[in-house]
């Protein structure tokens, strides 16, 4: 005799009503076919992984009995101290004077977003975000049942943002921004917008999360200060700041190591450590030790290889878009990172375009709609140039442009 399956949906907690399958991840599974030319996955180019250096690091650690005893053991939730100290020194080079106590190692920056959501959001709290914003951040925050306020384009330039925020009741406690080469747009906040955001955070008493996932991948233009460094300039010290900086080695070394960090006031880091403990105790010790060895030598040179490689591809996609796209299509001009955001003519839905593109052109990309937290827009798509070759970029953009012409 068999009993019917349980209806689990009636048993899940209230917070699960906001936790849904990530459309993009679901979509990416279908796109993993050899004959598809893909601009979809925003993942690092595997040829750029420093595999030999990583192998040497693991070999050396595991060959040494003292090191391997430590590497294969449980360790502290804060993270491997030499790695935290290395990160603190590097943060100091960009205007963030801090020490290892201001750094928590997390399982990628994705875990940092989850822990920060857990720390700062009560159900119904509003998170201020860009329009569009990183879908994975929305996914992380959604489990804490927030509302969203997305800042329209230009709100940081014309001073409207403070009014928009103070008009919300209760006042939004948290803002989340990707100031450098954002996912999905590839765009960065200008210097004046960064200053405006810090002013806004102080004026509205908002805590800021600065997601710096792509910051190291600048291939053009001048380096702009981090929000955290501007905050420290204003308040005097990291422990007085209201910005939490999330960094990651996923885009520069390897996402599989799952190593990111939060840099911020010690009072916040101490609380995050407790949450991290309850969540997964700590990031893999052997991975942290191997990563530390890997970045200790030749990191700058490795970064410049990455920047050159992505810069060439970004230039190729910019030129291909200019050559092939019909009037009415516009796109962002990234100076770093992995993404171009394309606005389609009004009325052309990115999801409909994708359905036809997969069948008629065998070209994949990600529709823009899931990246909008509050007020959606359907006529946009995200193209990632991190994986295709220059020839594939030219071919894929030409095919996509042909389809857009046929559909408009």
Residues 186-205 that bind ligand PMP (CB under 6 A): none
Least distance from ligand PMP to the Cβ atom of residue 404, Å: 26
Least distance from ligand PMP to the Cβ atom of residue 23, Å: 14
Residues 41-60 that bind ligand PMP (CB under 6 A): 42
Binding mask 294-333 for ligand PMP (x = CB under 6 A): ----------------------------------------
Least distance from ligand PMP to the Cβ atom of residue 229, Å: 19
Q: Residue 306 to residues 78, 111, 299: CA-CA distances in angstroms?
A: 29, 24, 11
Least distance from ligand PMP to the Cβ atom of residue 365, Å: 15
By the rule CB under 6 A, 183 interacts with ligand PMP: yes
Least distance from ligand PMP to the Cβ atom of residue 181, Å: 9
By the rule CB under 6 A, 225 interacts with ligand PMP: no
Residue of the chain from 108, 132, 225, 336 that contacts ligand PMP (CB under 6 A): 108
Least distance from ligand PMP to the Cβ atom of residue 109, Å: 4
By the rule CB under 6 A, 132 interacts with ligand PMP: no
- Say if residues 289 and 81 touch (Cβ distance below 8 Å): no
By the rule CB under 6 A, 226 interacts with ligand PMP: no
Binding mask 162-181 for ligand PMP (x = CB under 6 A): ----------------x---
By the rule CB under 6 A, 370 interacts with ligand PMP: no
Residue whose C-beta lies closest to ligand PMP: 108
| β-pairing verdict for 363-364 and 37-38 | parallel
Residue of the chain from 82, 152, 173, 255 that contacts ligand PMP (CB under 6 A): 255
90 vs 234, beta carbon nearer ligand PMP:
90
By the rule CB under 6 A, 287 interacts with ligand PMP: no
By the rule CB under 6 A, 260 interacts with ligand PMP: yes
Least distance from ligand PMP to the Cβ atom of residue 86, Å: 17
3-state secondary structure the chain: CCCCCCCHHHCCCHHHHHCCCCHHHHHHHHHCCCCCEECCCCCCCHHHCCHHHHHHHHHHHHHCHHHHHHHCCCCCCCCCHHHHHHHHHHHHHCCCCCCHHHEEEECHHHHHHHHHHHHHCCCCCEEEEECCCCHHHHHHHHCCCCEEEEECCCCCCCCHHHHHHHCCCCCCCEEEECCCCCCCCCCCCCHHHHHHHHHHHHHHCCEEEEECCCHHHECCCCCCCCHHHHHHHHHCCHHHCCEEEEEECCCCCCHHHCCEEEECCHHHHHHHHHHHHHHHCCCCHHHHHHHHHHHHCCHHHHHHHHHHHHHHHHHHHHHHHHHHCCCCCEECCCCECCEEEEECCCCCCHHHHHHHHHHHHCEECEECHHHCCCCCCCCEEEEECCCCCHHHHHHHHHHHHHHHHHHC
Beta carbons within 8 Å of 220's beta carbon, 6+ residues apart = 311, 314, 335, 336
Residue of the chain from 57, 213, 290, 400 that contacts ligand PMP (CB under 6 A): 213
Number of residues that bind ligand PMP (CB under 6 A): 14
Residue of the chain from 77, 229, 248, 386 that contacts ligand PMP (CB under 6 A): 248
By the rule CB under 6 A, 283 interacts with ligand PMP: no
Residues 136-155 that bind ligand PMP (CB under 6 A): 136
- Point out which residues bind ligand PMP (CB under 6 A): 42, 108-110, 134, 136, 178, 183, 211, 213, 248, 250, 255, 260
């Amino acid at each position: 005799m068999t009993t019917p399956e349980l209806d689990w949906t009636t048993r899940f907690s209230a917070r699960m009503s906001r936790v849904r399958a990530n459309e993009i991840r679901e979509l990416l599974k279908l796109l993993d076919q050899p004959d598809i030319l893909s601009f979809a996955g925003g993942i690092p180019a595997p040829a750029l992984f420093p595999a030999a250096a990583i192998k040497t690091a693991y070999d050396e650690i595991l060959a040494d009995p003292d090191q391997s005893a430590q590497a294969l053991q449980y360790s502290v939730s804060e993270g491997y101290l030499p790695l935290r100290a290395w990160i603190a020194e590097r943060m100091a080079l960009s205007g963030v004077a801090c020490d290892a106590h201001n750094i928590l190692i997390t399982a990628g920056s994705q875990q940092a977003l989850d822990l920060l959501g857990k720390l700062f959001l009560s159900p119904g709290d509003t998170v201020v975000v860009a329009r569009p914003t990183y879908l994975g951040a929305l996914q992380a925050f959604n489990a804490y049942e927030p509302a969203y306020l997305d800042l329209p384009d230009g709100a940081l330039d014309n001073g409207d943002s403070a009014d928009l925020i103070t008009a919300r009741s209760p006042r939004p406690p948290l803002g989340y921004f990707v100031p450098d080469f954002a996912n999905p747009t590839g765009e960065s906040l200008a210097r004046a917008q960064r200053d405006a955001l810090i002013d806004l955070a102080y004026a509205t008493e908002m805590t800021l999360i600065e997601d710096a996932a792509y910051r190291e991948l600048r291939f053009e233009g001048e380096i702009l200060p981090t929000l955290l460094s501007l905050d420290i300039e204003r308040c005097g010290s990291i422990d007085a700041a209201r910005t939490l900086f999330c960094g990651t080695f996923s885009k520069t070394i390897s996402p599989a190591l799952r190593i990111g960090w939060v840099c911020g006031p010690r009072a916040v880091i101490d609380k995050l450590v407790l949450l991290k403990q309850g969540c997964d105790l700590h990031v893999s010790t052997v991975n942290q030790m191997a990563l530390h060895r890997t970045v200790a030598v030749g990191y700058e040179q490795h970064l410049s290889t990455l920047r050159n490689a992505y810069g060439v591809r970004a230039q190729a996609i910019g030129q291909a878009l200019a050559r092939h796209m019909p009037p009415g299509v516009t796109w962002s001009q990234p100076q770093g990172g992995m993404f171009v955001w394309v606005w389609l003519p009004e009325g052309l839905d990115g999801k409909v375009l994708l359905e036809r593109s997969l069948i008629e052109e065998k070209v994949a990309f990600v529709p823009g709609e899931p990246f909008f937290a509050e007020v959606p827009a359907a006529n946009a798509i995200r193209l990632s140039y991190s994986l295709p070759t220059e020839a594939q970029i030219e071919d894929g953009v030409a095919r996509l442009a042909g389809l857009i012409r046929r559909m408009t």
